Amino acid sequence: MACLTRIFPSLEIGDVELDEDIDNYWAALDEKDRNWATKEDQYATEKLGLQLYTKRQKGALLSSHQTNGRTLQGCHSYDVLANPLYFDDF
């Protein structure tokens, strides 16, 4: 990477500090996404025998409350089928 940034200085990634004024992930989920995540975990656990979240993550999901500030926009996870646009295409 050092060689590339000498040749192409614009590729260098400097210290970037993002300040998007957003709460932690669990609090930043809106009600729809929070319900989706809860039901998805419940289905995976009961019907498929899969653990989607660690105990700590599941506890955070169930105990956190939606922030009064900004929430996550768009798809709340990397699950392709959680995004309705990709779901329709799939």
| Tens digit of each residue's pLDDT (9 = 90 or more) over 29-83 | 989 989 989 999 999 999 999 999 999 999 999 999 998 888 887 777 767 777 7
Q: Is residue 27 included in any domain, yes or no?
A: yes
Q: Is residue 10 included in any domain, yes or no?
A: no
Q: Is residue 34 included in any domain, yes or no?
A: yes
Q: CA of 81: how far to CAs of 36, 67, 85, in Å?
A: 12, 25, 9
- Name, in order, each residue with C-beta under 8 angstroms of 16's C-beta and a sequence gap of 6 or more: none
pLDDT value for 15: 65
What's the total number of domains in the chain?
Answer: 1
Q: Is residue 6 included in any domain, yes or no?
A: no
Q: Is residue 75 included in any domain, yes or no?
A: yes
Q: Write down the pTM of the prediction.
A: 0.63
**Residue range of the domain that includes 84:** 23-89
